[in-house]
Amino acid sequence: MKKPGKFSSIKIAAAANTLILVMLVSLSLFTLVPLADETTASADGGPVYSAASDDKISLMFNVYQGEEFVLDALDLLDGYGAKCTFFVGGCWADDHVDVLREIYARGHELGNHGYFHKDHKGMSQKGNLAEIEPTNALIEAVTGASPALFAPPSGSWDDATVAACASIGMKTIMWSRDTIDWRDQNAAVIFTRATKELKGGELILAHPTKATVEALPAILQYIDSAGLSAVTVTELLTE
């Protein structure tokens, strides 16, 4: 198992390809991943699946492996004036502090994705905190930002996870739609899953993959054309 190591620098790559026409043509060929059963922000401290908003949505990137497409995504988000939340794994952040700083410097929100990408369901409250708190400490040490949101790896959580987050003033964040881009490396499919029948208040889960970066311009254009704005999760929840 990888142990927390010293900070390392990264190699920056910047290139973004668009497949807007292909994705629009393909829109009718794929079905949307079903929304989660719970579709509103929790009022009792439980996980948050979406929020009450007419004109804002949140794009969320879970980041645990690689860095080659993160900067590409940042450039595209800048071009559309969009802000989002990056949930970073502590182990990843330790190895990519330059990218972590860049995400924050560009005005995006940093959330917590655990340290070692463990399955949090079945963990004790203490075990949950052992994954969450070191990641918070690392993010704060590097950027000065104190994460307020935790996205459980693989969406796996239970009451102890929620209680652990609540005990340190954090919210547990899920999603209303999942692009499943880590598995299906198809920009047209990712575009459709992210946008079909999109409405205000939704939380869209993605990862910084090659196909997602290819789909991102069309996703951002669709959000604009639908009269929606892409904002951080915290902004969406505090509207």
> Is residue 171 scored above 70 in pLDDT?
yes
Provide the whole-model pTM: 0.82
The residue ranking higher by pLDDT, 25 or 225, is 225
C-beta neighbour count of 26 within 10 angstroms: 16
Q: Is 206 helix (H, G, I), strand (E, B) or coil?
A: strand
Angstrom distance (rounded) from CA 52 to CA 63: 26
pLDDT-above-70 percentage for the chain: 81
Residue 93 three-state SS: helix
Helix (H, G, I), strand (E, B) or coil at 173: strand
Q: Mean of the pLDDT values across residues 183-199?
A: 97
Residue 50 backbone dihedrals phi, psi, to 5 degrees: -165, 180
* Contact between 31 and 189 (Cβ < 8 Å): no
**What pLDDT score was predicted for residue 79?**
97
> SS3 for 204?
strand
CA angle, 107 as apex, 104 and 113 as ends, to 5°? 45
Q: Are 9 and 98 in contact (CB under 8 A)?
A: yes
pLDDT at 32: 41
pLDDT confidence bin for 155, thresholds 50/70/90: very high
pLDDT of residue 44: 56
Provide mean pLDDT across the span 150-160: 95
| Domain spanning 41-228, CATH architecture | Alpha-Beta Barrel (3.20)
Q: Is 122 left (phi over 0), alpha (psi -120 to 50) or beta?
A: left
Q: How confident is the model at residue 26 (pLDDT cuts 50, 70, 90)?
A: very low
pLDDT exceeds 80 at position 209: yes
Largest Cα span, the chain: 49
- The predicted pLDDT at position 1 comes to 42
pLDDT at 24: 37
Q: What confidence score (pLDDT) does residue 38 get?
A: 43
Q: What is the mean pLDDT of residues 212-239?
A: 97
pLDDT value of residue 188: 98
Whole-Å CA distances, 150 to 19, 78, 88, 168, 228: 32, 24, 9, 11, 25
Q: What is the mean pLDDT of residues 97-111?
A: 98
Give the mean model confidence (pLDDT) for residues 36-64: 79
Q: Any idea what DSSP says for residue 43?
A: S
pLDDT at 51 over 60: yes
Residue 239 pLDDT > 50: yes
pLDDT score of 66: 81
Mean pLDDT of 99-123: 97
pLDDT for res 197? 96
More confident call, 218 vs 12 = 218
- For the chain, which residues make up each domain, given as ranges? 41-228
For residue 53, pLDDT over 70 is answered with yes
